[in-house]
Amino acid sequence: MDRLQKALKALDGRGYKAYKDLKGSYDFGSFWLTIDHVQGDPFAAPSRISIKVPPVQAGLPNALWKTPVRRVALEDFLGRALAAAIGCCVKGGRGIGKSGEVAIATSGQQILRRNAVLVDDSGVEARLTIGLPAAGRTIRAREAEAMLLREIPEVVSRGLFFVHLDGQAARSHVESAEDQEYLRNWLDQHNLVSFVSNGSLLPRRTGIDDRPLTSKVIPFKSPPSLTRTVTLPNAGEVAGMAIPSGVTLIVGGGFHGKSTLLHALERGIYNHIPGDGRERVATVPTAVKMRAEDGRAIRQVNISPFISNLPLGRDTVRFSTENASGSTSQAANIIEALECGCRVLLIDEDTSATNFMIRDQRMQQLVTRDKEPITPLLHRVRELYHEHGISAVIVMGGSGDYLEIADTVIMLDNYTVRDVTEQSRALAGNSLAEIIPESLPPFVLESSRKPTSDALNPALGRRPAKIEARGLDTLLYGRHTIDLAKVEQLVDCGQIRAIGLIIKHYAEHYHGKTASLTEGLQKTLSDVAENGLDLLPPWKTGDLALPRLFEVAAAVNRIRATDDDRTS
């Protein structure tokens, strides 16, 4: 600490780049501070520092991180504690640009595996960013001294020393995540696709604010016929609605809560923080939200199970386009997810292509089958379940035809849930019998598709690789701008950054050595699971969060071709 203080005094008034002399590690007694990277300019990305607290000083109870799920939850809790401490202890605004800023990457309502805080036998390490202060481009050493020698130690004490933390809150955080993971595994063992506990609070504040709505909320209550009780490791017995495998419809009038329920199910692949309202909403981890995505690029995807006999003999077994329609994009989204092992399709009619979802009898009489290249999902969704074990949960308010193929029908009535399966069966007819699955192209759930090496190269000519997240919507990958706005189960910018680095790792280690894109990405994610997210970047960072295979593949599949990029 004294060495850092002397170094700072020697820098006062010098040009900003002299801050680079501070790189290295400094002993603060109860922790080590390492300045890993120094920004070259006050307006550049902030400097990166890391804090290492030995086990004795951290005092973290072993029981809180003895298993992988507990470790991730405790790391998440500590990251949030550090963020709160930064808010309390850091003055900010110590000059121009980013001077005075201190930050740590944390998640929103979900508990994600990150590399911002890491806990192991050697203690706890936290990665922060810090804007070293400047007036113009002149070092303000006294302000830097206040940040590094007073504010940072206080942040570390409040955020990483267990003696100063709310121990009961930490235990609740960890135990809640453990219960959610247990619940998700329980689903698979009991042939269920999702569970929503009684008392859950599903509505969110707004479409862009994932925090729970706090006023005029009706707690969730399961209909008796769908109620199951599960005994969780920490919370004990919990009752709620269990959605069985098969084809499930969510029906009801507009604005009665159908899409809100589906949104909770699609986020049920993640663990949520206590107080979110969805802590005991769980969905099998292989569930994928499907939608139409007009304008997306598609490369060599076999969409023939849904779309065939296009005019001019256009190939739908290896279908490619730079500007997909609603129906072709939704068909491709489903096939690509199935290639990655998706076992549950989550679909909302509001974000689907109508002609992909249904074709009523009158339209079938007017436009006969030999003139219509689209086979709606309606005519194939049961086959997906019976032949391949792939379930579907579909929000449907506009077509009674789906009642004929549903195993379970859930109605939302003024935000109250009812099981109307028997009533629906009484209303359903048999008009779909004319569709004979044997006459349709078969589903092929495996593919040897993989992109070209050029498409996977993130370099910009002679310049080094460029991989950058632009919010939750866009990944800049070399010369490619990948649109991820419609990949709806991404929840964190850190996942976008990690996706870019995972693609790069796949390109360097597995492309050309595996039979398919899916196999190569699976091997890459196995490497990350074994070695951590730090395997991916070329330097130490703390801004990555783990994505799923489905979202990584979705990013690769949305890389647009250039003249030199064609899928093999």
Indicate whether 188 belongs to any domain: no
pLDDT over threshold 70, residue 434: no
What does the pLDDT read at residue 567?
Answer: 42
Q: Domain check: are 427 and 467 in the same one? A: no
Give me the residue label for tokens 């593919």. 447
Q: Domain check: are 427 and 503 in the same one? A: no
Give the closest residue to 48 by CA, choosing from 126, 118, 112.
Answer: 126
How do residues 52-99 score in pLDDT, each as one tens digit? 999 999 999 999 999 999 999 999 999 999 999 999 999 999 999 999
Q: Domain check: are 506 and 391 in the same one? A: no
In terms of residue numbers, what domain contains 308?
A: 287-439
Structural domains of the chain, count = 3
Q: Domain check: are 471 and 434 in the same one? A: no
What does the pLDDT read at residue 372?
Answer: 67
Paired residues of 247 in beta bridges:
392
Overall average pLDDT of the 541-547 stretch = 98
Q: Domain check: are 46 and 151 in the same one? A: yes
C-alpha distances out from residue 149 to 4, 27, 141, 156, 271, Å? 8, 11, 11, 11, 36
Indicate whether 282 belongs to any domain: no
How do residues 315-362 score in pLDDT, each as one tens digit? 999 999 999 999 999 999 999 999 999 999 999 999 999 999 987 666
Indicate whether 211 belongs to any domain: no
How do residues 235-290 score in pLDDT, each as one tens digit? 999 999 999 999 999 999 888 999 999 999 999 999 999 999 999 999 999 999 99
Residue 228 near residue 282, CB atoms below 8 Å? no
Q: Domain check: are 393 and 513 in the same one? A: no
Q: Domain check: are 135 and 7 in the same one? A: yes
Q: What is the mean pLDDT of the chain?
A: 93
Indicate whether 278 belongs to any domain: no
pLDDT over threshold 60, residue 566: no
Indicate whether 367 belongs to any domain: yes
Overall average pLDDT of the 483-502 stretch = 98
Q: Domain check: are 464 and 358 in the same one? A: no
Overall average pLDDT of the 386-405 stretch = 92
User: How far is the C-alpha of 398 from the C-alpha of 357, rounded, in Å?
Assistant: 10
Which of 395, 411, 439 is at the close of a domain? Answer: 439
Which of 143, 165, 187 is at the close of a domain? Answer: 165
Indicate whether 210 belongs to any domain: no
Paired residues of 289 in beta bridges:
346
Q: Domain check: are 435 and 463 in the same one? A: no
Indicate whether 516 belongs to any domain: yes
How do residues 97-141 score in pLDDT, each as one tens digit? 999 999 999 999 999 999 999 999 999 999 999 999 999 999 999
Q: Domain check: are 295 and 337 in the same one? A: yes
Q: Domain check: are 427 and 468 in the same one? A: no
Which of 126, 144, 165 is at the close of a domain? Answer: 165
* CATH classification at residue 389: 3.40.50
How do residues 506-520 score in pLDDT, each as one tens digit? 999 999 999 999 999
Please give the structure tokens belonging to residue 341: 């092992």
Q: Does the model's pTM come out above 0.85?
A: yes
Lowest-confidence segment of 80-94, 215-229, 256-270, 299-313 by average pLDDT: 299-313
Indicate whether 333 belongs to any domain: yes
Q: Domain check: are 8 and 154 in the same one? A: yes
